[in-house]
Amino acid sequence: MPGFRLKSLFYIFKVKSFKKQQTFCMKTNIKFLALAGLLVLTTGLNAEGLIRFYENYKVGYKDATGHVVVPAKYYAGSEFINGYAIVVDDNQKRGFLNEKGEVAIPLQYSDVGPFANGVARVQLNKKYGYINTEGKWLLEPKYDFAEDFADGFAVVAINGKYGFINTDFKEAIALNYEKAKKFSNGLAPAQQDKLWGYINNKGEWEIKAQYESANFFNGNKEAQVSMNHEFYVINDKGTVLKKIEMKHEEEFERHRNAKKGEDKDKD
């Protein structure tokens, strides 16, 4: 799943005060969210290798016969993707298991992405780099931010400036943008002067920066953008295909305004 950020699925809640009878429920929900995060990670990907199971809010792995290969000891864990599973310990450190259930790459990273084509994005000491399946550096950690590869490029950033590296781990598109998102259908959303547009793989503007927000193009070569607080669907030439009516938001706003009126009348 290119561009997917595993770290964003793990939320640490600091609860300052809760009633005793609520404490267990909150702890359970926190663990569930972490486990659900890695479950989402594998959605749409081919599950393989050992089978993940849960016991006492921990994750372990069994073989096809039900024999426990890895005891349930991890805080969270993914299914096997391209021969490896991501696991997380109680200190929120991440690493990888191989299909034998062995720790192939030690749990030492603060953030990781799944392996694809033998490459994984990892964060160590607050910097991002890329490793191979032996845990060796393909690109030493130096970026403040990095994404998984998509369409042959990965978003990276240093000091708030975004650009792209290619699969040779060279900076193919200079880090000149305020923000950037993954490539899709040959185009990537990029932000300049607080406005979004779309660049090609040479860093040239194909659709000039003019939007308040911009998403990457889907398989139909359509993307959602916003201008003047209105939302639209455009094609890869920048032509507006349709306006998106935000009915639910409008209904919510009407309800909220009506509620304010009721409260004012009560006063």
**In angstroms, what CA-CA distances link 89 with 28, 30, 134?**
16, 14, 20
pLDDT the model gives residue 264 = 53
Q: Could you tell me the pTM of the whole model?
A: 0.76
Cα–Cα distance measured from residue 145 to residue 224, given in angstroms and rounded to the nearest whole number: 24
Cα–Cα distance measured from residue 88 to residue 95, given in angstroms and rounded to the nearest whole number: 7
pLDDT the model gives residue 246 = 75
Tokens (6 digits) for 236: 């890869």
Tell me the per-residue pLDDT of 30-52, one tens digit each, with 9 for 90 and over: 344 444 455 445 444 445 679 99
Q: Tell me whether strands 85-88 and 76-77 are parallel, antiparallel or unpaired.
A: antiparallel
Tell me the per-residue pLDDT of 125-180, one tens digit each, with 9 for 90 and over: 999 999 999 999 999 999 999 999 999 999 999 999 999 999 999 999 999 999 99
The domain spans of the chain are: 1-109, 153-267
Q: Is 226 left (phi over 0), alpha (psi -120 to 50) or beta?
A: beta
* Residues contacting 223, CB < 8 A, separation 6+: 189, 198, 214, 215, 216, 217, 233, 234, 236
**Residue 68: strand pairing partners:** 62
What is the residue-level pLDDT of the chain in tens, covering all 267 positions?
333 344 433 332 222 333 333 333 333 343 444 444 554 454 444 456 799 999 999 999 999 999 999 999 999 999 999 999 999 999 999 999 999 999 999 999 999 999 999 999 999 999 999 999 999 999 999 999 999 999 999 999 999 999 999 999 999 999 999 999 999 999 999 999 999 999 999 999 999 999 999 999 999 999 999 999 999 999 999 999 999 987 655 555 555 565 555 555 555
- Which class would CATH give 153-267? mainly beta
Helices assigned H by DSSP within the chain? 20-41, 247-266
